Amino acid sequence: MGGMTRREWVLSAAATAAAFGLTGRMAVSAPVQPPERRQQTPEPKPGIHRYKVGAAECIALYDGVWEKVHDPAFFQNASVEETKQALAAAGLRSDFVPIPIVALVVKINGKLVLCDAGGGGQVQAFNPNSVFVSGKLFANLRAAEIDPAKIETILISHFHPDHIFGLLGRKTNKPVFPNAEIIVPAAEYKWWTDPSLIGRLPKARQPLARRIQSVIPKWKNVLPVDGEDEVVPGIRFVKAPGHTAGHTVFHLTSGKDQLLISNDTAYVPALVAEHPGWHGAYDQDAAMAEQTRRKLLEWTVGSDMMICGTHFPWPGVGRISRDGAGYAFNL
């Protein structure tokens, strides 16, 4: 890290890309878009979508979008042309891969719960043909008349930057939600906070681990939870490994209604739900991720429950149905 302090480091393009399991395409710093290419995905107005699951009120909040340049390394077993065809078949733009970021607030049993925290405006595209925008979560919280200081609980699915950097103050690393209890999967926490991890990681992945280890274990409001417990009344953790070592989904029940908050299990449904056997560069263990994805999508269909995901097309909630050898997401 040279002469930089842990609180002032800037993650290189390769470092953040590797944190996502990708090649050197991204960087973490001030969110400056390259002049050659501006965001082309229309921002939803408003970036708020309310719906009910039984008595629970769910509020989807738009945080941004990654307009990802096509890359032959994106999938181990699918070409760029196949990726474009899958996007077009789903009615999405195919000149790049549109990957929105959607957080979710749940009002349930008297609790105010935030599910993942977005990118905090700290993740940007490095490749001039890509755009990565995040950090709109707070503006949309205010527009939804939600006081961030009143969020009591934050559930974190895994420690990738577009899910946790919204917890960390830019440059300062100060807690953005100091009054909330932050509940994290114990397996994910253990993997990222293991002191020996940094020495075992490729050099490009080390800055993310350093940032996590220098901040999160010191916060008194972080609670690692093992197993598949009910972490707040009406919401339980469900293990979903593969994307990361401890990746977790959240299962919400209210009366007879259910919602699977699937996080990154099927991150772009047009690609990895329709083609669950595609092995993406995002996934730490692609074979395990596929096994998890098939199991959870089949559970969703069999239980006739609603599903939402961090990178699903806005507003990010709908239902899954079987579609040949894969699954279709329907808004």
Average pLDDT of the segment spanning 57-73 = 97
Report the distance separating Cα 262 and Cα 267, nearest Å.
Answer: 8
Average pLDDT of the segment spanning 263-268 = 97
Per the listing, tokens 């040949």 go with 324
Domain assignment present for 198: yes
Tokens encoding 278 = 């595609």
Average pLDDT of the segment spanning 36-43 = 78
User: Residue 255: is its pLDDT beyond 70?
Assistant: yes
**Tens digit of pLDDT for each residue in 216-229?**
999 999 999 999 99
Domain assignment present for 275: yes
**Tens digit of pLDDT for each residue in 180-205?**
999 999 999 999 999 999 999 888 78
pLDDT number for residue 140: 98
User: Residue 28: is its pLDDT beyond 80?
Assistant: no
pLDDT band at residue 3 under the 50/70/90 scheme: very low
Tokens encoding 94 = 């195919």
| Torsion over CA: 262, 267, 269, 271 (sign) | negative
Domain assignment present for 2: no
**Tens digit of pLDDT for each residue in 295-330?**
999 999 999 999 999 999 999 999 999 999 999 999
**What is the number of structural domains in the chain?**
1
Report the distance separating Cα 39 and Cα 183, nearest Å.
Answer: 33
Report the distance separating Cα 100 and Cα 41, nearest Å.
Answer: 9
Tokens encoding 120 = 């905090």
User: Residue 249: is its pLDDT beyond 60?
Assistant: yes
User: Residue 256: is its pLDDT beyond 60?
Assistant: yes
pLDDT band at residue 126 under the 50/70/90 scheme: low
Report the distance separating Cα 162 and Cα 30, nearest Å.
Answer: 14
Average pLDDT of the segment spanning 60-87 = 97
Q: How much is the mean pLDDT over the chain?
A: 89
Domain assignment present for 36: no
Domain assignment present for 210: yes
**Tens digit of pLDDT for each residue in 133-174?**
999 999 999 999 999 999 999 999 999 999 999 999 998 999
| Torsion over CA: 259, 264, 266, 268 (sign) | positive
Give DSSP secondary structure letters for 150-163. Answer: G--EEE-----HHH
Domain assignment present for 267: yes
Residue 282, classed as helix, strand or coil, is coil
pLDDT number for residue 39: 87
User: Full-prediction pTM beyond 0.85?
Assistant: yes
Which one has a higher pLDDT value, 176 or 22?
A: 176
Per the listing, tokens 């990681």 go with 201
User: Domain limits at 295?
Assistant: 13-31+44-330
Output the domain CATH number for residue 143. 3.60.15.10
Domain assignment present for 174: yes
Domain assignment present for 131: yes
User: Residue 8: is its pLDDT beyond 60?
Assistant: no
